């Protein structure tokens, strides 16, 4: 075929696509891809172009629809399954060394003889002492295929020689229930970190254990829980609401309503219940919170939740990649949509936390109001609740701004607190365990020694972390809480002792205890909602 004929055919083909593109937008995409292939100066990666185009299309929809590649989709499935193949340890990476800081009870590492304080010098014969080895690289080497061994080069404290230990990887459960314990003789505490495939099973076990220990009242902590599977949210709501209660309903793109009900298989229908939420409580966590609030089943304490009322469904593509598309809006039992506006784009949408701080909404009560159009009433006591932009708590607690300050972020990211806590325990483990034989004794009596606190401040100043002056007692108290949490987590096994230490200074946790210990106040909050707020937190000064 001569050049003139070829040019004519290409022109006719292009003309055909152009006419189709005018009639149907999907042909415009095919036309653009074909023209790029024919005319661009370099060879192009077609898969990369298509991936980029799909991402761009989805980014124009809403803030929560997204596209994931084959590899990302598989990683997400593993994360949400509740397990991964590993050896069951946590580690601390300093500049020069990597130490084991936690060993899962009866996990493969513990059975192989790995202990807290051991130094990992190499993995599968390769030294990890070089600077190129960061937390991510070490984690990827430790995790892998189930039943495949990994060889660690270990230097144990007091030993002059290192040794190689082969550990066969097993499925390690990544728990949804972050912590569960009795606060006192009547009040139990359960913290959920995510809603994954094992959440309901873990909740069943936690509730059963706490009830056997005498629990009559419960704090359910959903602070910073970003959500997960809707099915798991229904399962958690089922623990507290009797049979055939609406958990939520959804409205898909074709219209109509799909209702989701409890099944009547729960364990805690009668006891007093408080739910803790904050500005990072989102999605499935808001489904649970909204259902419990609408049925007047729980007192909600904390700050307005994130405000995600859109439901995503996975749509698989032929190559294994996946689109997570918003397929419906969900509504609480009273009819509330708690989705915050997203008409100004993603960047604006995810700047909401900064706006809440600047407006002082997170610092003081009374800096947010809703129009009457967003007013609803609960299904039991007919008290007023609001939709549009998150779940409003029944009892407001201001944010601890030290935790969100620039200096605190820099201090925690520097690793100084983790490293200092580790070294303190390594040097004083025997004396500490003698003085505090169990966690309860430690939590009540242990105080961070002044000289240790000062060493930490000096180290922070050397790397230009602007620690507030000593006169700001609340700031230094926050540092001591984090240091104590590190020490507690390294001294004792069998629980998330870091979370327990932090709870003792968490204002929302303290407020939950005061409400549960005052039956009149608890009932009043369920009957009428907010009845006067607790005293303002002393930690409300915004530190930048």
Catalytic residue, chosen from 180, 193, 232, 283, is 283
Q: What is the DSSP string of 268-336?
A: -SSSEEEEEE-TT--THHHHHHHHHHHTT--EEEES------EEEEEEE-TTS-EEEEEEEEEE-TTS-
Return the closest-CA partner of residue 446 out of 424, 418, 467, 423.
424
- For the chain, what's the residue count? 544
Pairing of β 149-155 and β 322-331: unpaired
Catalytic residue, chosen from 118, 221, 294, 400, is 294
Neighbours of 49 (CB within 10 A): 15
Q: Enumerate the β-bridge partners of residue 219.
A: 189, 274
Q: Is 294 a catalytic residue?
A: yes
Q: Is 283 a catalytic residue?
A: yes
Assess contact for 322 and 312: CB atoms under 8 A: no
Helix/strand/coil for 123: strand
Helix/strand/coil for 114: coil
Catalytic residue, chosen from 175, 308, 419, 484, is 308
Residue 88 CB partners (closer than 8 Å, separation 6+) = 103, 104, 107, 108, 109, 110, 170, 172
* Cα(92)–Cα(139) distance, integer angstroms: 11
Pure H helices in 389-535: 406-414, 416-435, 439-445, 450-462, 473-491, 497-503, 507-516, 519-528
Assess contact for 85 and 103: CB atoms under 8 A: no
Residue 130 CB partners (closer than 8 Å, separation 6+) = none
Residue entry with tokens 């000064």:
541
Q: What is the DSSP string of 372-404?
A: GGGEEE-TTT--EEE-SSSPPPSEE----TTTT
* Cα(26)–Cα(422) distance, integer angstroms: 58
Q: State residue 312 phi and psi, 5-degree precision.
A: -100, 145
Assess contact for 290 and 391: CB atoms under 8 A: yes
* Cα(331)–Cα(256) distance, integer angstroms: 13
What residues are labeled active site?
Answer: 283, 294, 308
């Amino acid at each position: 075929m001569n050049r003139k004929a070829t040019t004519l055919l290409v022109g006719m083909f292009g003309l055909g696509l152009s006419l189709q593109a005018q009639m149907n937008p999907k042909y415009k995409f095919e036309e653009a891809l074909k023209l790029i292939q024919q005319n661009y100066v370099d060879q192009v990666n077609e898969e990369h172009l298509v991936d980029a185009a799909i991402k761009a299309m989805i980014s124009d929809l809403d803030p929560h629809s997204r596209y994931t590649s084959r590899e990302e989709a598989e990683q997400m499935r593993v994360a949400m399954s509740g397990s991964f193949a590993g050896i069951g340890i946590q580690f601390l990476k300093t500049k020069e060394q990597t130490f084991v800081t936690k060993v899962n009870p009866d996990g493969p590492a513990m059975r192989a003889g790995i202990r807290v304080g051991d130094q990992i010098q190499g993995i599968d014969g390769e030294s990890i002492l070089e600077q190129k080895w960061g937390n991510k690289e070490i984690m990827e080497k430790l995790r892998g295929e189930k039943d495949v061994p990994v060889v660690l080069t270990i230097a144990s404290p007091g030993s002059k020689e290192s040794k190689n230990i082969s550990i066969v990887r097993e499925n390690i459960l990544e728990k949804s229930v972050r912590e569960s314990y009795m606060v006192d003789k009547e009040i139990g505490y359960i913290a959920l970190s995510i809603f994954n495939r094992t959440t309901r099973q873990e909740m069943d076990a936690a509730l059963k254990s706490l009830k056997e220990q005498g629990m009559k009242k419960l704090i359910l902590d959903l602070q910073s829980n970003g959500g997960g599977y809707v099915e798991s949210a229904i399962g958690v709501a089922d623990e507290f609401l009797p049979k055939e209660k609406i958990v939520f309903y959804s409205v898909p793109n074709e219209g109509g309503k799909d209702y989701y009900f409890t099944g009547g298989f729960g364990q805690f229908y009668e006891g007093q219940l408080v739910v803790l939420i904050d500005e990072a409580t989102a999605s499935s966590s808001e489904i649970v919170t909204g259902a419990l609030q609408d049925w007047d089943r729980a007192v909600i304490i904390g700050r307005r939740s994130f405000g995600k009322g859109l439901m995503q469904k996975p749509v698989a593509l032929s190559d294994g990649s996946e689109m997570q598309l918003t397929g419906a809006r969900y509504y609480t039992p009273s009819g509330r949509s708690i989705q915050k506006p997203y008409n100004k784009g993603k960047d604006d949408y995810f700047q909401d936390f900064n706006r809440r701080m600047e407006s002082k909404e997170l610092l003081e009560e009374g800096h947010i109001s809703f129009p009457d159009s967003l007013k609803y009433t609960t299904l039991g006591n007919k008290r007023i609740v609001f939709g549009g932009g998150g779940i409003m708590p029944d009892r407001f607690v201001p944010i601890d701004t030290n935790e969100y300050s620039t200096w605190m972020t820099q201090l925690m990211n520097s690793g100084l607190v983790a490293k200092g806590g580790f070294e303190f325990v390594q040097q004083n483990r025997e004396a500490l365990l003698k003085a505090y034989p169990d966690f309860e004794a430690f939590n009540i009596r242990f105080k961070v020694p002044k000289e240790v606190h000062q060493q930490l401040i000096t180290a922070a100043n050397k790397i230009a972390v602007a620690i507030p002056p000593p006169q700001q007692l609340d700031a230094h108290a926050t540092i001591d809480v984090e240091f104590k949490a590190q020490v507690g987590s390294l001294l004792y096994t069998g629980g998330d002792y870091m979370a327990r230490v932090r709870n003792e200074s968490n204002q929302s946790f303290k407020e939950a205890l005061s409400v549960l210990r005052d039956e009149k106040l608890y009932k009043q909050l369920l009957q009428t909602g907010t009845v006067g707020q607790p005293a303002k937190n002393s930690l409300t000064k915004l530190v930048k």
